[in-house]
């Protein structure tokens, strides 16, 4: 089962195109990485936008790229290969960017086009669908919001009848217009033919000397066209321009996701300390304790308990499993398996039903059969361990010879004694034992006891001769009296 932070989507007419503006440098991020590639909960900003518009099933999607376009193109090629890209060599304003995008769609001359920025990760499919519906009986519609602090936003100017008249950029606004708290989100839906016509008449008579897309609204109104505004919550239109806003967006998105999962039947003891990527899947009756981070393609089944203090990435957890104070990457944890505390499961780890990876255990590229146990203080790498086998404390699977990794295969119901070194490649047969403190370098036949250690000898009075006067010597003398 999956849950979405935007589960209340509505149906809307099909779109001819979506245009995502992602060409800006983002200088306030102070980063070599293009702004739209900075991540919030496992997705880049532009990917969040593209995921929000995907359910609208537009016939065409165009992403306008510019600064750092090689990196943006690489990411889009991996995650949204169907998107068309258009390059804005010089950033001469939003109107200019949209004109470049439309030039990539020369044969699309009817229908509606959704235009939005690539740095707005909190936009919801519901809001976008509502905006498309709003535009279905108008030449254009703009998404707006009532905000507590309108600094930096373009103002929505309405006439006495409450109809949208124009959008005025903050830098060009009068004192009276600056007092308006309804602001432009930068998200629009246009009749594409009307948009093409109006863009040809957009000038650069403004403080920035750029072609503003907002001028299209005023042009359409002057032509007598109907333009509407659809109001949403101010959180939804938050753009990311610096690292503080990136963190704010992450916090809002985190809360949306955990709220949606709790409403879907997932228990969270302290939801304020739980972070879940939108790509994670959870089943009802999953149980999350404090300080849990679930990322990538992680999935948690019903009845599994995760945490506290646990981070899982690309990890599957089956029903009834318990995972405590653990870091797991690319692992699979079976039904009623137990993990932790202070455990590290690396890629390729598979724990079978009722298997155990205990405290201070590290496992890599290893498969544990049903009921197999590595209870504590051990390293297991490149291995297969049969059902019912127990690995004693402080056991090391010596899998690397300095050049290559080698595999250890251990059969069913084997008992590996504490402080054993298993030097791969090696096979230990079913039902075999190894003596504690052994270094095992040869195969162990089924049902055998392997002993790989030197015989103990005691050198009497060594401390008295070699450490006279020490606390140890004094204790030894006292004991002998």
Instruction: Name the residues annotated as catalytic.
Output: 376
Cβ-Cβ contacts under 8 Å for 35 (sequence gap 6 or more) = 24, 25, 26, 29, 45, 67, 119, 240, 241
How far out from the chain centre does Cα 17 lie? 27
CA distances from 312 to 9, 324, 391, 439 (A): 29, 11, 24, 34
Q: Report the b/e string of 192-223 with b at 16+ CB within 10 A.
A: bebbbebbeebeeebeeebbbbbbbbbbbbee
- Alpha carbon distance 180, 147 (integer Å): 9
- Alpha carbon distance 469, 474 (integer Å): 6
- Alpha carbon distance 249, 239 (integer Å): 8
Count of other CB atoms within 10 angstroms of residue 477: 12
Output phi, psi for 17, to 5 deg: -160, 155
- Residue 308: asked if its preceding bond is cis (omega within 30°), the reply is yes
CA distances from 308 to 135, 270, 295, 362 (A): 48, 10, 16, 18
Helix axes 125-135 and 45-53, enclosed angle (nearest 10)? 50
Strand partners, 62: 19, 84
Cβ-Cβ contacts under 8 Å for 262 (sequence gap 6 or more) = 268, 271
Q: How many alpha carbons fall within 13 Å on the CB side of residue 248?
A: 13
Task: Identify the CA nearest to 70 among candidates 48, 58, 87.
Answer: 87
Tokens of 88: 């804005």
- Alpha carbon distance 246, 40 (integer Å): 7
């Amino acid at each position: 089962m999956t849950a979405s932070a935007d589960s209340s989507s509505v149906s809307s007419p099909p779109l001819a195109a979506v245009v995502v503006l992602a060409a800006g440098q983002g200088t306030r991020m102070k980063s070599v990485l293009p702004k739209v590639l900075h991540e919030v909960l496992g997705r880049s900003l532009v990917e969040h936008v593209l995921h929000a518009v995907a359910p609208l099933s537009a016939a065409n999607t165009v992403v306008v790229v510019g600064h750092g376009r090689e990196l943006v193109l690489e990411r889009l090629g991996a995650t949204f290969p169907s998107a068309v890209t258009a390059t804005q060599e010089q950033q001469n304003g939003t109107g200019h960017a949209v004109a470049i995008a439309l030039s990539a769609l020369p044969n699309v001359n009817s229908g509606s086009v959704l235009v939005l920025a690539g740095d707005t990760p909190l936009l919801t499919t519901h809001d976008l669908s509502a905006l498309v519906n709003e535009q279905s009986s108008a030449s254009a519609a703009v998404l707006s919001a009532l905000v507590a602090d309108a600094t930096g936003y373009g103002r929505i100017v309405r006439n006495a009848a409450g109809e949208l008249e124009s959008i005025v950029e903050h830098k060009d606004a009068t004192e009276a217009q600056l007092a308006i708290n309804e602001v432009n989100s930068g998200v629009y839906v246009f009749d594409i033919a009307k948009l093409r016509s109006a863009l040809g008449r957009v000038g650069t008579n403004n403080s920035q000397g750029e072609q503003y897309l907002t001028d299209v609204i005023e042009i359409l109104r002057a032509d007598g066209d109907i333009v509407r505004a659809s109001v949403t919550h101010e959180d939804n239109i938050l753009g990311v321009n610096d690292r503080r806003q990136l963190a704010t967006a992450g916090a809002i998105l985190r809360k949306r996701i955990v709220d949606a999962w709790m409403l879907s039947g997932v228990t969270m003891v302290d939801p304020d300390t739980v972070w879940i990527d939108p790509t994670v899947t959870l089943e009802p009756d999953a149980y999350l304790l404090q300080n849990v981070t679930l990322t990538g393609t992680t999935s948690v089944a019903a009845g599994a308990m995760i945490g506290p203090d646990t981070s899982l990435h690309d990890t599957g957890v089956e029903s009834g499993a318990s995972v405590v104070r653990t870091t797991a990457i690319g692992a699979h944890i079976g039904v009623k398996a137990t993990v932790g505390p202070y455990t590290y499961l690396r890629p390729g780890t598979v724990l079978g039903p009722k298997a155990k990876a205990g405290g201070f255990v590290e496992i890599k590229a290893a498969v544990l059969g049903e009921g197999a146990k590595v209870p504590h203080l051990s390293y297991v790498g490149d291995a297969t361990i049969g059902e019912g086998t127990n690995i004693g404390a402080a056991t090391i699977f010596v899998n690397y010879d300095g050049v290559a990794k080698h595999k250890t295969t251990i059969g069913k119901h084997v008992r590996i004694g504490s402080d054993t070194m298993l030097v791969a490649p090696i096979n230990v047969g079913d039902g075999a034992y190894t003596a504690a403190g052994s270094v095992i370098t040869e195969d162990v036949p089924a049902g055998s006891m392997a002993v790989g250690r030197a015989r103990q000898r005691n050198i009497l009075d060594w401390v008295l001769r070699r450490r006279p006067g020490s606390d140890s010597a004094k204790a030894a003398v006292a004991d002998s009296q």
